[in-house]
Amino acid sequence: MTFKKWMVTTSLVSSVLLLNACGQTSEEEPSPDETAQEEVNQNEESQTTEEPDDEDQIENDEDSNGSNASDNEDGEPSDSVDNGRPQLDLEEDVLEPASFSVLVNKQYSLPEDYVPDNLVTVEVPTVLPNPEIKQMRQVAADALKEMFDTAETSGIILHARSGYRSYQTQVQLFNNYVNNHGEEAANKYSARPGESEHQTGLVMDVTSESVGLQLTEEFGNTEEGTWVRDNAHEFGFIIRYLEGKEDITGYVFEPWHIRYLGPELATDVYESGLSYEEYLIDRGINIEI
Ligand SMILES: [Zn+2]
């Protein structure tokens, strides 16, 4: 069997430093104190920066997670026979901005002119006043509401903090960082426009009153964060930046950042124990990390 190799055309010269994928949020938060605190957090997190490991590390991680390498030994991830896993055209979709399975990270950025269709305001409790970030694509907004409502039946009260983030907003954030800290620091610590997964309209940062409605790693230890970790996939979301996968994803552990992939794919990714990047590689998709 043949495997059509494809080359990445969108690879950018990008920082490999770890940073908080959701932290560039000063536009959402007019308070200079909050902004400053987030920047402090980013800098602190960046101190733990490591260079991404090579593919050997990925393979090791996959092995440790019990992945079945034989799934893709024929090199055809979209083959109709794939041990019951989701039938996906991942090979094409990971580079299609409007696809639910699009890959967005520091190597694969979204185009400047990409604005998702069907952005709607989420119908769940929100934290911040900025109308832009209360938006998600319709299907993701519906799934989010279903997830929040289901959580509430178990006494779990979730809050939505930051969803859609436009390219232009990302430009403003980057420029703000340059103005405040200089271009060199911005290049090291601030995400470049187009690199935020929030631009897909498929992402929401969720939090709880138990962590003061903030985006903090502590959320992962709360009852609410644990519930999200264990149940989000059933509604089509994954925790995008896993603990221990920093070298792969390029971001620190973010138990609050959930990414919509659809229930079938999200469940498969969840059950794999892999980061989305690793999962795609495991499915035979030739991505660069
Ligand atoms: Zn986020």
3-state secondary structure 116-129: CCCEEECCCCECCC
Q: Give me ligand 1 centre to Cα 22, in Å.
A: 4
Tally of structural domains, the chain: 1
Return d(Cα 96, Cα 257) in angstroms, integer: 21
Six token digits for residue 22: 């959701």
254 tagged catalytic: yes
Task: With a cut of 60, say whether residue 284 has pLDDT above it.
Answer: yes
| pLDDT at residue 193, as a whole number | 96
Q: Give me ligand 1 centre to Cα 180, in Å.
A: 22
Task: With a cut of 90, say whether residue 111 has pLDDT above it.
Answer: yes
Residue bearing the bigger pLDDT, 231 or 88: 231
Residue bearing the bigger pLDDT, 52 or 119: 119
Q: Give me ligand 1 centre to Cα 242, in Å.
A: 12
Asked if residue 25 is part of any domain, the answer here is no
The segment with the largest mean pLDDT, out of 4-18, 65-79, 91-105, 148-162, is: 148-162
Asked if residue 143 is part of any domain, the answer here is yes
Q: Give me ligand 1 centre to Cα 43, in Å.
A: 17
Six token digits for residue 25: 């949020």
| pLDDT at residue 82, as a whole number | 53
User: Which residues lie at CB < 5 A from ion ligand 1?
Assistant: 22, 205, 257
Three-state DSSP at 240 gives strand
CATH of the domain at 150: 3.30.1380.10
Q: Which of 62, 254, 277, 278 is catalytic?
A: 254
Asked if residue 180 is part of any domain, the answer here is yes
pLDDT tens for 156-209 read: 999 999 999 999 999 999 999 999 999 888 877 777 999 999 999 999 999 999
Asked if residue 20 is part of any domain, the answer here is no
Q: How far is CA 178 from the centre of its chain?
A: 24
DSSP code of residue 69 = G
Helix (H) or strand (E) holding 203: strand 203-207
Q: Which domain holds residue 236?
A: 32-73+85-282
The mean pLDDT value for 216-237 works out to 98
| pLDDT at residue 21, as a whole number | 72
Asked if residue 177 is part of any domain, the answer here is yes
| pLDDT at residue 191, as a whole number | 78
Task: With a cut of 60, say whether residue 2 has pLDDT above it.
Answer: no
| pLDDT at residue 145, as a whole number | 98
136 burial level (CB within 10 Å; 0-12, 13-18, 19+): buried
pLDDT tens for 129-166 read: 999 999 999 999 999 999 999 999 999 999 999 999 99
